[in-house]
Amino acid sequence: MPQQTTRDVVIVGGGLIGAAVGFGLQRRGLSTVILDEGDVAFRAARGNFGLVWIQSKGSGSPDYVAWTRRAVDAWPDFAAELADLTGIDVGYRRPGGFHLCLSQAEVEQRGQMAQRVSRHQREDGKTVMVDAAAVRERVAGLGEAVVGASYNPLDGDCSSLALFRALHEGYARLGGTYRPATAARSIRTAGGAYRIETDAGAFAAPKVVFASGLGLNHFAAQVGLPPLVRAQKGQIIVTERMRPFLDLPISQIRQTPDGTVLIGDTKEEVGFDTASTMGGMIELAQRAVRALPRLADTRIIRSWGALRVLTADGLPLYEEAAGWPGVFFLTSHSGVTLAPAHAIAIAQWVAAGEMPDELQAFSATRVQAEKVA
């Protein structure tokens, strides 16, 4: 029998979700190992914009509205806990946030979305449409091209890189084992537990969490689930440091505490190519300069494409595979916003085994019906 490492839970994937769930499980006293790939992999966490965002989450899904709200409510305590444990300030703030519309058509489309979402939002956190004058009160130097915006007072942001690092530091401090360059290949049952074969030996546990982003489909097939996710490309431009000029996040433009400005919002349906396209970069730059003309003279430091992990309907997916008790599939393209929910509620579910009612709406059964395109 080849050597095998045994834990309470094996977590496949060391991105924002795997690290948050691992952190939460260690905190509950379980012994876990996170299996991750090497230095170069398709990592959605690296393309993250850092928004802690509710204004557009849950159009058509009251459950998602409630789930996101719960996560945002947990954020202040969660950020404080991470800082206490690791000494890393993830820079969370909640000043409210805008999504800018650069044409009347965009205003109308956004308005419809706001109406659908706000129907399910609580009174103190409703997404509303505002005119350009209202945006101008909060954002100096707004371009003439801005016609209006959507706004939610509970929107905020953090440093997604600091969060990523804090989750990993915290996980290590709580005794978790992180195994890089240990890409998982297969799962099978073995003597009342599960056995995960990897590039670097086998791992056994009574429970397995797959949080492997675009790699989920590979394991879904092994337990009889349909394909769960697809890739969607997003591009981000980062500028040189500027004096602080923007003290609240805009979904397309955000200034980080160290002064750099992140610009993003393209949605390109492509395969597994993470190169930056010239056209995508130009479009981002054009929209950014129209929204905030002062950005025109700011130098771009780099741009990159990262792959978002999306389910067919854009909602998170949390599933304990039928016939494979203790085998969990987790994905969401809101790894930052939902980090506290993953560390608390999802970890509790994985530890206890009983799916809470609030998560029923996110099970994979909905995917069975639709099939991912």
Partner 1 sequence: MSLPAPCPTHDLIVVGAGPAGMAAAECAAGLGLSVALVDEQPRPGGQIYRATGASPLADASILGPDYQRGAALVEALSRHRIECFYNATVWQVTRDREIGLLVQGQTRLLQGRAIILATGAMERPVPIPGWTLPGVMTAGAGQILLKSAGLMPSASVVIAGSGPLLFLIAWQYVQAGVTIAAVVETTPHGNYLRALRHLGRALKANEYLRKGVALIAGLKRAGIPILRNARHLRAEAGADGRVARLHFRTGNRDRSIECGLLLLHQGVVPNTQITRALDCSHDWDALQRCWRPRVNEWGATDVPGLWVAGDGAGIAGARAAEHSGRLAALDAARLLDRIQPSERDEKAAPDKAALAHHGAVRPFLDTLYASAPDILVPSDDTILCRCEEVTAGDIRHFVALGCQGPNQAKIFGRSGMGPCQGRLCGLTVAEVIADARGVPMEEVGYYRIRPPIKPITLGQLADLDIPQEAAE
HEC-encoded secondary structure of 85-147: HHCCCCCCECCCEEEEECCHHHHHHHHHHHHHHHCCCCHHHCCEEEEHHHHHHHCCCCCCCCC
Comparison of 303 and 332: residue with beta carbon closer to partner 1: 303
- With contact defined as beta carbons under 8 Å apart, do 235 and 305 qualify? yes
Question: Helix or strand or coil: residue 25?
Answer: helix
Comparison of 149 and 253: residue with beta carbon closer to partner 1: 253
Which of 201, 265, 236 minimizes the C-alpha distance to 33? 201
Comparison of 22 and 316: residue with beta carbon closer to partner 1: 22
Q: How far is the CB of 302 from partner 1 (least distance, A)?
A: 4
- With contact defined as beta carbons under 8 Å apart, do 12 and 18 qualify? yes
Q: How far is the CB of 117 from partner 1 (least distance, A)?
A: 30
* φ/ψ (deg, to 5) at 52: -110, 100
Angle at 122 between CA 344 and CA 110, to 5 degrees: 100
Q: How far is the CB of 275 from partner 1 (least distance, A)?
A: 7
Comparison of 58 and 215: residue with beta carbon closer to partner 1: 215
Q: How far is the CB of 124 from partner 1 (least distance, A)?
A: 35
Comparison of 50 and 58: residue with beta carbon closer to partner 1: 50
Q: How far is the CB of 181 from partner 1 (least distance, A)?
A: 5
- Cβ-in-10-Å burial (0-12, 13-18, 19+) of 269 comes to exposed
Distance of alpha carbon 130 from alpha carbon 98, whole angstroms = 9
Comparison of 137 and 258: residue with beta carbon closer to partner 1: 258
Comparison of 242 and 351: residue with beta carbon closer to partner 1: 242
Distance of alpha carbon 353 from alpha carbon 157, whole angstroms = 32
- With contact defined as beta carbons under 8 Å apart, do 222 and 324 qualify? no
How many CB atoms neighbour CB 326 within 10 A? 16
Distance of alpha carbon 38 from alpha carbon 42, whole angstroms = 10
Q: How far is the CB of 295 from partner 1 (least distance, A)?
A: 5
Torsion sign across C-alpha atoms 103, 59, 349, 327: negative
Torsion of CA 51, 57, 63, 66, to 10 degrees: 50
Comparison of 309 and 312: residue with beta carbon closer to partner 1: 309
Binding site for partner 1 (CB under 8 A): 14, 36, 38-40, 45-46, 161, 164-165, 168-169, 172, 178-181, 237-240, 263, 275-283, 285-286, 288-289, 295-304
